[in-house]
Chains A and B, each alone.
Chain A
Amino acid sequence: MANYHPNDELLMTYSAGQVNNALGIMLACHLEVCSQCRAKVHKYNQLGGEILSSTTPITVSSGLKQRVLAQLEQPRDTNTNPIIDAPVPPSDQRIPRPLWRFVPSTLNDIAWKGFTSSIQEFTLPFSDDTYTAKFYKIAAGKELPEHTHKGNEFTLVLDGAFSDQVGSYHQGDFILANTETIHTPHAHKDKDCICFAVLDAPLKMTGFFGRMLNPFLR
């Protein structure tokens, strides 16, 4: 059961179909494990339904109905989106369903990259102009240099746990760090901590060691 959640505004915007990017994928991953947030989204979907009903209608063109009716004869199961094959369930339970088609079937097969063994990353294939999406792996017991953020960084814990000055975060927790957050996250000792992160601007290291590392960080 997650203890840290996206705020209501974000959940409403997601329900409104207006977070169609890496952050939306992360919200979908959190919702998979959080019935509390699912209930909220359900409520916002209902509001969406009422908004749909109360919109001033615009009459469709005269031929549309016949065109649609003519297509009912086609086989029913041709609607699958040709862009995506049905994702295959991974062997690794730690991978949330919305990520299935974007990552290897087990987190152990990920080609991690990084300049130190304590922090490694894997870039996810659905970054866009707004957000960069990554997995981070912080080695068990290791600490990241103290840093702040130039923008927003959303984090979802997939495995293990980490703590910073504010709290302790476990699987399913959704955390937002922004320009006001200065923190030194460290992974708990028992296992590596793997996080899904979505950033709208790169990290900015504040400590001396961190400043030295900065040129290597995008």
Chain B
Amino acid sequence: MTIPNQQDTTDLNSLVLRIAQHQDKQAFAELFDAVSSRLKAYAFRCGATDTEAEEIVQESLLTVWRKAGQFNPKTASAVTWLYTIVRNKRIDLARKHKNVQIVSDDLYPEQATDDLENDVERDLNGEIVRTLLTSLPEEQRQIVYMVYFEGKTHSEISSELDLPLGTIKSRLRLAMKKLDALAQEQMTWLIIILMTNF
């Protein structure tokens, strides 16, 4: 698997916009080909069975079709938007099997437009986020992945990896510091951190 380049990301944005503006089925079919296997992999790594993962893919893409009009490339890239959709579908599918009241709409209500606009300036450059993620030392990336896919707490990760709690905490903290540096556009610091691979 190659990491998508900037071109791919731009393509995803334009595909979603074509769906939004023209209800373009060809664009939808292309989007399906571009992302379905990644959506499935995400669901699968989060613990879904093969059948559940495909249901999550199906529901996510149908949501893209129906809600494409809400996509705003100024506030988030298509891939970030897709991520929030597939995350929510995963939560709601898992909930169906249990007697749980809380649905993803409760946890992630749609934001008011003015809030979104105010938050726009915080949007990060996707390419830089990607660079950051790929250049994290494996031991830090592994922990970030465990949070995203498995929702493990520090102490669960600690016992699973058989490492002291303090080590897990400091690795995650280091990874998050780099993200913070990125968010605050302290680019010099970020480059130093990345170069030293610390």
A52 within 8 A of B: yes
Contact A64 B91 (CB under 8 A): no
For chain A residues 40-66, which have a beta carbon within 8 Å of chain B? 40, 42-61, 64-65
- Which residues of chain B have C-beta atoms less than 8 A from A68's C-beta? 32, 58, 61-62
How many chain B residues touch A (CB < 8 A): the figure is 80
Q: Is the interface of B mostly helix, strand, loop or mixed?
A: helix
Contact A57 B57 (CB under 8 A): no
A165 within 8 A of B: no
Contact B109 A8 (CB under 8 A): no
Given the known A-B contacts A54-B134, A77-B66, are A48 and B87 also in contact in the complex, defined by CB atoms under 8 Å? yes
Pair count A-B, CB < 8 A: 200
Contact B147 A12 (CB under 8 A): yes
B29 within 8 A of A: yes
Contact A46 B107 (CB under 8 A): no
B15 within 8 A of A: no
Given the known A-B contacts A17-B87, A39-B119, are A49 and B80 also in contact in the complex, defined by CB atoms under 8 Å? yes
Contact B80 A60 (CB under 8 A): no
A3 within 8 A of B: no
B188 within 8 A of A: no
B53 within 8 A of A: yes
Instruction: Choose one: A12, A69, A77; the contact of B29 (CB below 8 Å).
Output: A69
B193 within 8 A of A: no
Contact B66 A45 (CB under 8 A): no
Bound Cα distance from A17 to B10, whole angstroms: 25
1/0 per position for B183-196, CB-CB distance to A under 8 A?
Answer: 10000000000000
Given the known A-B contacts A12-B176, A48-B80, are A69 and B25 also in contact in the complex, defined by CB atoms under 8 Å? yes
Bound Cα distance from A64 to B35, whole angstroms: 13
Given A17-B104, A51-B148, A84-B103, 18 further pairs, Cβ under 8 A:
A9-B147, A9-B154, A22-B102, A24-B107, A25-B107, A28-B107, A28-B108, A32-B109, A42-B76, A43-B182, A47-B144, A49-B80, A49-B82, A51-B83, A53-B38, A65-B32, A81-B103, A84-B105
B interface residues (Cβ-Cβ under 8 A, vs A): 1, 3-4, 25, 28-29, 32-33, 36-42, 44-46, 53-54, 57-58, 61-63, 65-67, 76-77, 79-84, 86-88, 90-92, 94-95, 100-109, 111, 115, 118-119, 122-124, 126, 129-130, 133-134, 144-145, 147-151, 154, 172, 176, 179-180, 182-183
